[in-house]
Structure 1
Amino acid sequence: MKVLVSVRDAHEAALVARAGVDFIDLKEPSLGALGGLPVETVAALLRQIRRDAPATPVTATIGDWPAEALDEITERVLRVAATGVDQVKVGVERGPAALALLDRLATLKATGTPVVPVLIADDGIDPARLRLAAAGGFAAVMLDTADKRGGSLLDRIPAADLQHFIATVRATGALAGLAGALRLEEIPTLRRLGADFAGFRSAVCEGGRGQQLDGARVESLLSFAWRMSLCEQLRSE
């Protein structure tokens, strides 16, 4: 299982690049679950990361938009993708316009735009959204939560439902990612569920996701994840 950490500025980007995280995600946590940074900031941070950690994949969010705002979402996706990030993350909440948004994202993907749908799962995993997202040809599909005060994703979604999500996404050849106020001590469970990657922000900040990343916490996250991986490899030999 790979580790994704979200950063908001040059200091945080340098910190996680030095630490060696698997994926670096660019977002502004004070603006919501998928709060977007200015496109110019995304471009500047990407240049810095390409210099400091050229092999590390970089994702970026577009902000929290209602699914009905198809044209605005499309414009924002194209602008963020034009910076050269590896994937653009778009939140998809439950609602009547969700399927139309997933159709639009699949069209963008089919025409060469690297986009990843993030299914917002505060109220559970909607089967219709999952089926359409899994069939969209995306490189990855993620689950996340909008309200981080409600506990971690693992507190809110039954393990069987998470396993079904992961199996459905992986059956199409896409990567399955989990995020949503995840805690370090949940890494063993995340690995047992079979997630390809897990996203962290709250767990590596001192005082909540809106505060600055803490270097010691990032190191602890990566060390724990690495130890778990090593233990699994030894057990399989």
Structure 2
Amino acid sequence: MNTGLPAIAPVRLPTRLRALVSVRDVAEALQAAAAGVDTIDLKDPSDGALGGLPLGVIADIVAALRARTPSASISATVGDWPAAACAAIQRRVERVAACGVDQVKVGIPMHDPAAARDLLDALAGQARASGIAIVPVLIADDGLAPACVDAAAAGGFPAVMLDTADKRGGSLLQRRPAGELAAWVTALRRGGGQVGLAGALMPSDLPALRALAPDYAGFRSAVCAGDRRLGLDPDRLAALLAALG
């Protein structure tokens, strides 16, 4: 019977929590690949929450990973931009995608919810027209506008992430109530894509992460010896991956 209601994609739970680890250069990327990281994420941690690496560096990292680990899953950020800079963001998406990454991550700040919604709609259209796998990263320090959650879920993106801009104020799970995070994960998963959580996450967050059941979690601070702008620590990386199982 046709009820007249829109079809809703079935909710799918992940079989395990996968790890995304952010790296800044070829050496870190190869280290992460050798350790068995699920997704290797290219960004500059010294240049903001989603600092973008130079295009030449992205291309060099991709080439090294494809030569050493052809099946590696690689994402890269476009850098930190205001939501209103839609045209510039879309041009950067094209340039980052041309470096050969599998997914291009775009931060969606919430300072101007209307501009954020417009940017999500524009990115969804760009992804459909170009075939680029665009992953919106909703910046959730101060909450998310419901219209932006709805737009991200309806955009047909392969994945949507939640992250924080301020890495010094505790992890995402410390910044937002568990019930709120659970509602966002559920709403985004109904869009049919994967859901990722990030934002100064630490090994102590793993029990709460498993309860929220995202598809993957993003880490940088947890696998560095001290400041996230310093290099990866092999022991911390190994311990995190072991804890993830």
TM-score (norm 1): 0.93
Query: Alignment partner for residue 78 of structure 2, among 36, 41, 62?
Result: 62
Query: Alignment partner for residue 53 of structure 2, among 13, 37, 43?
Result: 37
Q: How many residues align?
A: 226
Higher percent of residues as helix = 1
Aligned to 1:8: 24
Shift of 1:18: 0.6
Query: Alignment partner for residue 101 of structure 1, among 119, 142, 160?
Result: 119
Residue by residue over 1:25-76, the C-alpha shift from the partner in whole angstroms, topping out at 9 and shown as x without a partner, is 0000000000000111111101111122222210000000011111110110
Say which SS state the counterpart of residue 31 (structure 1) adopts: coil
Does 1:128 find its partner at 2:147?
A: yes
Say which SS state the counterpart of residue 181 (structure 1) adopts: coil
Does 1:163 find its partner at 2:182?
A: yes
8 Å contact kept, 1:182–1:199: yes
8 Å contact kept, 1:59–1:88: yes
Query: Alignment partner for residue 74 of structure 1, among 90, 99, 112?
Result: 90
Q: How far apart in 2 are the matches of 1:166 and 1:97?
A: 22
Say which SS state the counterpart of residue 46 (structure 2) adopts: helix
Query: Alignment partner for residue 207 of structure 1, among 221, 226, 239?
Result: 226
Q: How far apart in 2 are the matches of 1:34 and 1:109?
A: 20
Q: How far apart in 1 are the matches of 2:230 and 2:96?
A: 24
Does 1:90 find its partner at 2:109?
A: no
Aligned to 1:234: none
Q: Which moved more, 1:18-27 or 1:206-215?
A: 206-215
Aligned to 1:22: 38
The percent of aligned pairs where both chains have the same amino acid is: 55
What letter matches 1:78 in structure 2? E
Q: For structure 1, list consecutive stretches of 5 or more residues without a partner in the other structure.
A: 227-237
Runs of 4+ displaced beyond 6 Å: none
Does 1:137 find its partner at 2:156?
A: yes
Shift of 1:125: 2.3
Q: How far apart in 2 are the matches of 1:52 and 1:16?
A: 12
Q: How far apart in 1 are the matches of 2:207 and 2:65?
A: 29
Say which SS state the counterpart of residue 88 (structure 1) adopts: strand
Residue by residue over 1:161-199, the C-alpha shift from the partner in whole angstroms, topping out at 9 and shown as x without a partner, is 111111111112110100000001111211111110000
Residue by residue over 1:177-230, the C-alpha shift from the partner in whole angstroms, topping out at 9 and shown as x without a partner, is 00000001111211111110000000111111111111111000000000xxxx
Shift of 1:122: 0.6
Report the aligned-residue RMSD: 0.8
Say which SS state the counterpart of residue 154 (structure 1) adopts: helix
Shift of 1:84: 1.5
8 Å contact kept, 1:13–1:45: yes
